Structure 1
């Protein structure tokens, strides 16, 4: 389950492992202490640093919004006023959206939580799993848009200030929202059904296998069909009906985790009814289709398209396969192809398809191009013109093995999808040009590429090992840490996982740019931090008494405002069992006092968060904390305090 447990259970002591851990912790500390004395050279120039600083200031002052494009991957810088006008124009489509309210959002998520708790309990799910998948205080999903730069017909359109000149892809970010975790659970069940959809593709390899087994006739024709705005045009009722039919037919072959079909359909309906989102402080509800960004959307869209394509499959084309909304079709004659296209456009009021025919004999689909000549097919690697071919740059602060893997996989894919020697050479040359444009010139030789195209031998035990997550500093440090692991005899149960530093996208792109504001009455968190901090979860926080300056450090997995509300309630009632209540009675003789709250760190994993809390308490020695309230700092971790503070 990809969600942290809200509870922390301390493991029983294991003497042999404890000794190894002490050796490992001491060795890692010495390695980091040595590294701390060394100067790390930056991989960006002073001019680039100044440019990043200026962009960050423009974003913070709400003069611009920085995002990525819909398909190319490049950055899009757009003036604030134009961005707002584009989104407002999109939201004016009354066939898709209607005004809503915070009250409706509250009603929806409470109803979903009640139904989830009831049905999951009836199904026999463990109480801890029920609680872990329910979000008692969810954040409201927010809308953001991606500019479809590949739709621009001329360079002058980039300079336009007319909102109607820009086509966008709307995305509703549901991370931390009401349906986030419940939708994930339902998806683990419904996702098992996709293998029973005949036309469904999961990757290029499956497509090439289908193409390889197709009886291609001389004179046949091929085309690709594309569905316009599939997600927003899906009929939710039809998608639910498709899921119901698949469940009914294959109920004996999939794991329902104790749920009945009727219970699953009830929960699916409840998730789809949670359709309220926020933009710029205003609430809206989506009245048609699926929100791109909801976990269930891809599975439901695939199931819905399975119903749309049934009449086409009954026409028995030589090949019909589909990757979500992109269809590849081979028919014996052009008349058969036209009939298939017409049938698919007649199945739903809102579903409309466009068609593409081969150009110079080649038809692109996914990341390959296909050509059919005299009943024989040929394939080669393909990159869309809109794709900017951005890879992890050779000079970026990533582990060398990660950068090698990126380039290796690109060359391997380029060679693997090709049908002949000439196509393979052409594809490998394209891959070489892309590698060179990302700084790998002179670092990928022809002989090396050939070695990299050989089958990969992966260590099957890596997935079973405990990950030791380490911020990437340098290859030298990572190698030293792995040596520490081997010396402490932990390398058979622990693997080092390097976390690269935040790239420009993570540092500068903010999808909640217009919706980070405080909604907590009489908030004591946001005034001393950033708007919206009160809804952050998985944090270590500092409470300071404004009257005397004494402090309290705590941690919580829930939204911070919920935990602070409990602290303030204890203060208001002067409860001795609470830190603020006891502080009021002992230090202020029952007189009330004001506090402010600051977030010290964020950490989603409970065990790591509690360790960080203990380190902060050890470093700051807050007067309001009691000794039994936190984990003790072990001898192995105590030296790390000087590295952290």
Structure 2
């Protein structure tokens, strides 16, 4: 209960702090609207001279703590589950616990094997470079022969401090040129940062566990997805600015999919005569983020931004400022693994905020120079060539036709790195093809059929895991999760396949403790408004303690 009490106390302190309005500038107002989560490094407590406010806060605090003292917390695990979890924690320091790629299941393996998989990824692809610690000798930097942990730590901290200084200097210079004020300068300055950290997720859907017999098989058959977490890095705050400014550009990319529902509706609008003779096929770019040329990516992003500058909210900045920040964010690709410093030589971080925008726009520029200009492919683009980052779906008459479509896009990459894996339906069985949480098929007569799998189209390794009914989440959260599953199933299905899709959801929810899950579709909750009419006031956000405390 001590942890919950501390959370309540923290909530009151933040409430008092936020009651005092910040200086009103255009950018600060935008930060409030966009939900920026960055905190200032040092914030003084508000003055206590207003006795009326202090008295009201004390009364509210006593009332909430009284409710809190009456609430009862129940253990949400069965004895068998608790025993199993305890056995995993005790005397198993040699095991590494993680989730698989795409969140399908949990992965338990020995730490040396997991570290070996990561190091194999770092050394075998040619994408990453190890940076050894150095020291000055006769005025020149030379690698340290036998570096210690202290040497590695000194090297990592030195590079972090250098990047932090450059980031703050760049942001201060930009703010001074645009007269943004000291509040904005301090708000986005980096403090106490650290290097991005790499971790890998196993692609368990790419192999069968039963096929692995020894350590050699694991190294050969296990595929991993490298992710670099940039939380708390020197580039994080500038990356946030670039992402929020450039996000509206995605609305001007005709091939970009905001969601699958609009794509299905557009497909359904086509008549059987228009679809006759065509088949739906999909393609996936192999390791897209690692294939992106940084300079070309920045150039394409800024070129598209210049074309649609009127749709961007620059908040007092100029495109040249975004250009400088984007080059700094993408160009300083340092990260650590196992207390060692590495540099990504090619491509973008998967885990950096503006990376998806850069990848989407880069591939679109290839499309714009190929299928959107070549008259041979215009009928295809008119028949809904769509893509979400690296997953593309289009219509083609033959497999060779589909190969031509995606080869023409890949040929625009002067570095020759872009490669597509194409999936074309079997001509004999005319099978469904999975695409972004749906399965789509166009039959020989031009009729479109679609039914959803939206993460329920699973390989054998993928487990039926979602929010557990016994989880310590608000009941209304669980209800909304259930409703969203059924809503997605219905929206992604043609009428003939709605019930089949709903049964997939039924099975998933029952596996997670929901008895008769469709009963939650009729439940209604009172909508609680979080808007504050008076701009000088803010909401008091309390942590979730229990359902009883939540209701009262």
TM bin, normalised by shorter chain, reads 0.7 to 0.9
TM-score, normalization by structure 1: 0.68
Alignment of 1:276-355 (within 5 A): 276-310=334-368, 311-314=370-373, 315-316=377-378, 317=380, 318-331=383-396, 336-348=401-413, 349-355=416-422
How far off its partner does 1:417 sit? Answer: 1.4
Counterpart CA distance in 1 for 2:435 and 2:213 is 28
Alignment pair present for 1:273 and 2:331: yes
Native 8 Å contact 2:433 2:440 kept in 1 = yes
Match for 2:491 among 416, 428, 434? 416
Counterpart CA distance in 2 for 1:93 and 1:463 is 52
Look up the match of 2:25: none
How far off its partner does 1:159 sit? Answer: 5.5
Counterpart CA distance in 1 for 2:69 and 2:159 is 54
1:561-593 superposed Cα distances (whole Å, 9 cap, x missing partner): xxxxxxxxxxxxxxxxxxxxxxxxxxxxxxxxx
Look up the match of 2:137: none
Counterpart CA distance in 2 for 1:282 and 1:369 is 43
Distance change >3 Å, CA 203–CA 11, structure 1 → 2: farther
Counterpart CA distance in 2 for 1:25 and 1:271 is 43
Alignment pair present for 1:370 and 2:440: yes
1:218-254 superposed Cα distances (whole Å, 9 cap, x missing partner): 1112200101111111111221111111111111231
Alignment of 1:16-55 (within 5 A): 21-35=57-71, 40-55=73-88
Counterpart CA distance in 1 for 2:74 and 2:177 is 59
Distance change >3 Å, CA 8–CA 358, structure 1 → 2: farther
Alignment of 1:117-196 (within 5 A): 117-153=172-208, 155-157=210-212, 160-161=215-216, 162-196=218-252
Counterpart CA distance in 1 for 2:492 and 2:52 is 50
Match for 1:462 among 530, 533, 545? 530
Distance change >3 Å, CA 94–CA 409, structure 1 → 2: closer
Look up the match of 1:56: 89
Counterpart CA distance in 1 for 2:108 and 2:365 is 40
Native 8 Å contact 1:71 1:150 kept in 2 = no
How far off its partner does 1:104 sit? Answer: 4.1
Native 8 Å contact 1:123 1:259 kept in 2 = yes
1:380-424 superposed Cα distances (whole Å, 9 cap, x missing partner): 21123144231111112221111111111101111121121x211
Counterpart CA distance in 2 for 1:236 and 1:95 is 16
How far off its partner does 1:160 sit? Answer: 4.0
Counterpart CA distance in 2 for 1:336 and 1:13 is 75
Native 8 Å contact 2:280 2:394 kept in 1 = yes
Alignment of 1:497-516 (within 5 A): none
Match for 1:87 among 114, 118, 121? 118
How far off its partner does 1:135 sit? Answer: 1.0
Look up the match of 1:476: 548
Counterpart CA distance in 1 for 2:167 and 2:252 is 29
Counterpart CA distance in 2 for 1:395 and 1:143 is 33
Look up the match of 1:643: none
Give the 3-state SS of the residue equivalent to 2:541 in structure 1.
strand
How far off its partner does 1:214 sit? Answer: 4.4
Native 8 Å contact 2:509 2:517 kept in 1 = no
Counterpart CA distance in 2 for 1:458 and 1:195 is 34
Alignment pair present for 1:429 and 2:429: no
Counterpart CA distance in 2 for 1:231 and 1:288 is 9
How far off its partner does 1:464 sit? Answer: 4.5
Distance change >3 Å, CA 258–CA 93, structure 1 → 2: farther
Give the 3-state SS of the residue equivalent to 1:186 in structure 2.
helix
Look up the match of 1:535: none
How far off its partner does 1:323 sit? Answer: 0.7
How far off its partner does 1:467 sit? Answer: 4.3
Native 8 Å contact 1:178 1:274 kept in 2 = no
1:173-218 superposed Cα distances (whole Å, 9 cap, x missing partner): 1100011111011111111211111111121223223324446421
Look up the match of 2:105: 74
Native 8 Å contact 1:236 1:290 kept in 2 = yes
Distance change >3 Å, CA 204–CA 264, structure 1 → 2: same
Counterpart CA distance in 2 for 1:119 and 1:72 is 40
Alignment pair present for 1:255 and 2:322: no
Larger radius of gyration: 1
Distance change >3 Å, CA 476–CA 248, structure 1 → 2: same
Distance change >3 Å, CA 471–CA 254, structure 1 → 2: closer
Alignment of 1:591-602 (within 5 A): none
1:130-171 superposed Cα distances (whole Å, 9 cap, x missing partner): 222121331111111111111114522275454233211111
Native 8 Å contact 2:506 2:517 kept in 1 = no
Distance change >3 Å, CA 44–CA 201, structure 1 → 2: same
Which runs of 5 or more structure 2 residues have no equivalent in the other structure? 1-35, 132-154
Distance change >3 Å, CA 120–CA 443, structure 1 → 2: same
Distance change >3 Å, CA 123–CA 389, structure 1 → 2: farther
Counterpart CA distance in 1 for 2:525 and 2:87 is 46
Native 8 Å contact 1:58 1:64 kept in 2 = no
Native 8 Å contact 1:152 1:158 kept in 2 = no
RMSD of aligned alpha carbons? 2.6
Native 8 Å contact 1:221 1:337 kept in 2 = no
Counterpart CA distance in 2 for 1:13 and 1:413 is 53
How far off its partner does 1:28 sit? Answer: 1.6
Distance change >3 Å, CA 343–CA 23, structure 1 → 2: same
Give the 3-state SS of the residue equivalent to 1:71 in structure 2.
helix
1:2-49 superposed Cα distances (whole Å, 9 cap, x missing partner): 1123324627877876665444333222222233xx5x4322234433
Look up the match of 1:631: none
Look up the match of 1:565: none
Counterpart CA distance in 2 for 1:110 and 1:17 is 41
Counterpart CA distance in 2 for 1:352 and 1:460 is 49
Native 8 Å contact 1:147 1:168 kept in 2 = yes
More moved, 99-108 vs 25-34 = 99-108
Distance change >3 Å, CA 153–CA 292, structure 1 → 2: same
Counterpart CA distance in 1 for 2:539 and 2:89 is 33
Native 8 Å contact 1:319 1:331 kept in 2 = no
Alignment of 1:97-136 (within 5 A): 97-100=128-131, 101-102=155-156, 103-136=158-191
Counterpart CA distance in 2 for 1:272 and 1:423 is 45
